[in-house]
Structure 1
Amino acid sequence: MIDGQILYRDFFEFHPPLGFLITAGWLTLFGQSLLAARLLMVLVIALIAGLGYSCCRMVSNRPALSATLVLAWSVSVPGPWMQVNHHWFTSLFSMLTLWAVLRAEGKPTRLSMAGLAACAAALVTTHRGGMIALAGLLSILSMRSVRSLTIYIFSGMTLASLALAYLWSQGTIMAAFDQVILYALNHYSNIQALPYGAFMDLQMMFGVLSFPLAAALLLLLIWRKGPNCICQQPWPTLILFAAAGLVGCFPRPDAVHIAFCAVLVLPLLAGTLAQLLSAGEIRPLWRTLGLVTIFVPLPPLAIAAVRSTNAPRVETQAGLYGVVAGGGILPLLKHLQTLPPGDHIFFYPADPMLPFLTGRRHPARLDMLLPQYSTPAQYKETCRQLMQEAQWVVSHVEITRPDFYSAVFPAMTNPLPPEKMAFEASLDAAFVHVGTYDGFQLMRRAAADVALCDEIIR
């Protein structure tokens, strides 16, 4: 987008536009570097934590407990996912919505902020943001104020109208509908199903356990004090947003996606604990939780810190890059820097960091080709584009193998569909191998011909 490509026209995406606009705007202002990208995420995650603390303190009036819960959530997110990611933006706007609703008190400014933030969440991640917008709507309905409801809806519709105006100015309204709505409905969830908490380790345990723990404490509160105790605000709002966070983990509720959403359940945890325990009883609880929060994730955090410190580094177009995992990346990046500057490199099947690090244009509308996720038509279209424009191909061999897909996408029934096999056969026929770098292969254009793509059946 910074180079002038049009979202949904020049490249394919099934997410709404706001996350791309935020990232492109930030990198335009502060430079296309790893440092700028990291600073963006530091800012976003810090804002999420700050809003989470404020919400917890509002409903519990327990500063230490609130800080401990937010700290526990913060360290539960694994390091590799501290990245520019649409889920972080969605969590930020979700927490801003919750914070604004809790502090609304009939104030138009805060109700407007809630509507804008809820719509912004939906304009970043459709299903998660949609659940947040619905939770905000139901929360305001429970206030029984037509004026508050009008302000919330009007504010959200204003931002939605601006997004539509942007798509109209780009001439991509229909393309956005096809990709964000129709494609996501028909092709997204079919390979995503996982058990709740899949791939959990010690570091991510708190996030995974936070939702069932909150549910158990809420039931205990109802049993002790009766159902009427949760009928008044802020309880309906806390329950609605916690439920939105839980539903937002699906259709892929692995430990990582839960970690993104778990911040929404922290205020409910804080509120129930404050109601169930007296000030004297809650003090040893938050101290114990604080110690566990610090020491349980300590081994993986310490290992990650040592690996990062000792990682070999290479200078890239995006700045100094430390290679923590994947030994082949270092020599591969060095080799790619020696290629002619104008050559286009096709990265297969999914390596979105490599175009950013190398400063190379990925000569295809798609940056990801996955079995039973990408359609035969997309395989064929991508094949034609790379035959016409790509001088080189970088293949990440590990994630083209069936065992990788079986581990990461256990719901995938056929990791070797005909279109994938035909696509890879066309690559082998059109490009010759010039080097192997651990799990990566570099291929050079030799006999590329669009006719080779005819074997891929639509």
Structure 2
Amino acid sequence: LWLGDEGVLLHGAARILGGEVLYRDFFEVLPPGSFLIITAWMKLFGAGFASVRVLAVGVIAVIAALLYATARLSSDNRPLAALLSIAWAVRVPWENSHHWFTTAASMAAAVGLLLALDGAPRRGAAFLAGLFAGAAAMVTPMRGALLCLAVVALLFTLPGARSRLLSAIVGIGLVPAAMILYLTAIGALGAAVDDVLRFPARRYVRIQAVPFGSFATLADTASVALFPITLVLAGTAFALRRAAIWRGLRFRASLALAGVGLVGAYPRPDIAHLNFTAPLACPLFALVATDLLGRLGRRARIAAGALLIGLCLAHVGYALKLRMAVVTAPLHEVPTARGLTVRLPSLWTDDFAALVVQIDRIPRDDAFFFYPYVPMLPYLTARRHVAALDVMTPGYTTTEQFRETCVRVLSEARWVVIERSWTDPAKLRSVFPAMRDPDPPEQRGFQAALRLAFDRVVHTSTFFELRARDASASVALCDRIGASPDAR
């Protein structure tokens, strides 16, 4: 459990269930796909924390099954496909993310694409490939768009595949068309274009760049190495067979999928995003590894196969050991309004538990503002977060957004919760090394207004601070945000 990205989806879905309109009443940079999936799940099975974690585990299980299917379709090597599927699944975090929905849709599209390329007229498979590629674009736009281009390009190059190409194009258009109709119906299409397309292009990319494999540990070695090793093996196979392997439709499709996965991890190819996209590299890895093993002599093939199996089993064993260490260790249970959460004992966990107790004592109708990067908190505490934004980060959040949020918070909120570590410029610089200024003037002005308006500190700890609003606080404090020194 951490209070960041998963909370964007869960809190957003909870707001939709509460009657708020996505993009019109609150700001999000993600397309509607993942919000609608989680909203539907909450509507059917409840908004509790246990319920949504079941969804997360289910999606990861689906991805693992699709990973096995694509690796087997590309290579006809069932043991290797099974090893890759298990090795991936045991290491990834079991939490909700729009990236998991994108990966699930991408792998389903990969299954359809590989079936459509098998030489038989498979218009249904091509349609499904397009349908799921279009769905992926409605969850994570760049990776989904790359996948759509890959599907169309591969089918376009096939002789006599016009019907399959048309089926794929029709499939690609269905989910985006449905999303456009939905957004038009709720009166949020214009706001969605601004939030999802224009804003990220101007603000998101500039702070996200990190070196390949950032934040990886020893246990993540396989995840970091997968794309480079796969491309090296693919290059070796191509050097040995050249035109023969290029004519193979499975090779071209698998290479395209790996390209989508690698490019789709950018602009932030850290270990988290590599884990999200790693399944797309597995069909190519399985194909070229099987091909190269088949070219070896019997003894060399047995030795290389044993080494590969041994490495996979070592990775699986190490990952399971780490998970079991968490399961068997003493855990700190923290009850919340959405259900029980558990974490390893730590100072952060103690501070989180103490904060939840303090919030539970506050009347249910009181409004909150949670700042700056804790969207999980309004979900777990089931409290109304008055701001349209649930994440505020320097270089990402504009001066206008700081000012508008300030006015809204000072007008409506009775309480402010601050996660203090996320206001530390050193931490921001470590997480976002491309960030030019981790403490810009607009942020300093915003935080100064919060301190003056919410001047009564009710609870403080190493990580969290709970403040109550001064009844005499005025929104005029927000006028200082973004003002020039002379204007002040």
Common fold by TM > 0.5: yes
Is residue 457 of structure 2 the alignment partner of residue 433 of structure 1?
yes
Between the aligned partners of 1:140 and 1:200, the Cα distance in structure 2 is 37
Alignment of 1:35-434 (within 5 A): 35-77=50-92, 79=93, 82-104=94-116, 105-144=120-159, 145-278=161-294, 281=302, 283-307=305-329, 310-324=330-344, 326=348, 327-431=350-454, 432-434=456-458
Aligned mates of 1:286, 1:354 — CA distance in 2 = 43
Greater Cα shift, 275-284 or 248-257:
275-284
d(CA) in 1 for partners of 2:313, 2:181: 51
CA offsets, 1:328-362, max 9 Å, x none?
00011111111001011111001111111111011
Deviation at 1:137, TM superposition (A): 1.3
Q: Shift of residue 286 of structure 1?
A: 4.0
Deviates more, 1:366-375 or 1:288-297: 288-297
The alpha carbon displacement at 1:239 in A equals: 0.5
Task: Decide which moves more: 360-369 or 282-291.
Answer: 282-291
Q: Distance in 2 between matches of 1:404 and 1:303?
A: 28
Deviation at 1:285, TM superposition (A): 3.6
Structure 2: distance between partners of 1:449 and 1:64 = 67
Counterpart of 1:100 in 2: which secondary structure?
helix
Post-superposition shift, 1:226?
A: 2.4
Give the aligned residue type for 2:481.
I
Match of 1:442 among 466, 479, 483: 466
Q: 1:456 aligns with which of 481, 484, 487?
A: 481
CA distance in 2: counterparts of 1:154 and 1:350, whole angstroms: 39
Please state whether the residue corresponding to 1:296 is helix, strand or coil. helix
CA deviation after TM superposition for structure 1 residue 72, in Å: 1.7
Q: What does the per-residue CA deviation read over 1:425-444, in whole Å, with 9 as the maximum and x for residues that have no partner?
A: 00010002111133000001
- Which TM-score applies when normalising by structure 2? 0.90
Q: Is the 8 A contact 1:204 1:256 kept in 2?
A: no
CA apart distance, 1:66:
0.9
Structure 1 length as normaliser, TM-score? 0.96
User: What stretches of structure 1 move > 4 A for 4+ residues in a row?
Assistant: none
Task: Give the superposition deviation at 1:304.
Answer: 2.9
Partners of 1:292 and 1:225 lie apart in 2 by 32
SS in 2 for 1:269: helix
> Over aligned residues, Cα RMSD in angstroms?
1.5
Q: Structure 1 CA distance, aligned partners of 2:168 and 2:440? A: 47
| 1:381-411 C-alpha deviation (Å, 9 max, x unpaired) | 1111111111100100001011111110111
- Distance (whole Å) between structure 1 residues aligned to residue 319 and residue 96 of structure 2: 23
- What is the distance in 1 between the residues matched to 2:273 and 2:44? 29
Q: Is residue 36 of structure 2 the alignment partner of residue 11 of structure 1? A: no
Between the aligned partners of 2:165 and 2:127, the Cα distance in structure 1 is: 10
Q: What is the rounded CA distance, in whole Å, between the counterparts of 1:263 and 1:448 in structure 2?
A: 52
CA distance in 1, matches of 2:23, 2:210: 29
Distance in 2, Cα, partners of 1:75 & 1:434: 42
Residues 202 and 296, structure 1, Cα contact 8 Å, conserved in 2: no
Query: What CA distance in whole angstroms lies between the structure 2 residues aligned with 1:252 and 1:195?
Result: 8
Gaps spanning 5+ residues in structure 2: where?
Answer: 1-15, 484-488
